[in-house]
Structure 1
Amino acid sequence: MSNPWRGEVELDINGEARVMRLTLGALAELEAQLGETTIVDLVARFETGKTSAQDVMALIVAGLRGGGWNVTAEDLVSAEIAGGITGAAKAAAKLLARAFVVPGAAA
């Protein structure tokens, strides 16, 4: 079960609930993978609405790694994610929001 106070989001992968969390290390890894130089640039990339499937995958992988699962994008290529691309994108968006907003606070 995920804890929103810790910035966690749950995602069902292959029928198993996995916890995602954007730790500082996970964010640094994500910045490097996506070629962004600041956290502000990273967040802006996702807020523009021009996010690619690779961006969503990178965010999910970073979140899963931050949540304690040592996974790569290659491990998830054939994985069944609940809700498909829409479910993955929603979970990724929620993950990014929870990394920077305290639950219950106005965004």
Structure 2
Amino acid sequence: MTSNQEVLRLYIKEVDPHGYDRSASDEEVLQTSMDYSAEVGVDIDDAARSLELAAQRFDISINDLVAAATALNVYTLCGLREALWQLERVIKVVRQIEGNT
């Protein structure tokens, strides 16, 4: 069964054919938290907590989540909230396919 981490890496490769599948740096995590807090008008600590909760839901590291969301933001120019929603959809679809095979 494909792990959520592997799903995200495969999805990033679809978004970026050059294979941007590394973990995000601490600076990128901070920047993504800042971007998210600015986008939705919340405190940066709340934004950081939301990333942590999303990473727990996906069962991946925060850095992997940020790397995936950052790749989506860069290549589709969508907001972080949209990027997280798209990633969640991809993981659910892969899980459904694996459950039916």
- TM-score w.r.t. the length of structure 2 is 0.36
* TM norm structure 1: 0.35
Instruction: Indicate the structure with greater strand content.
Output: 1
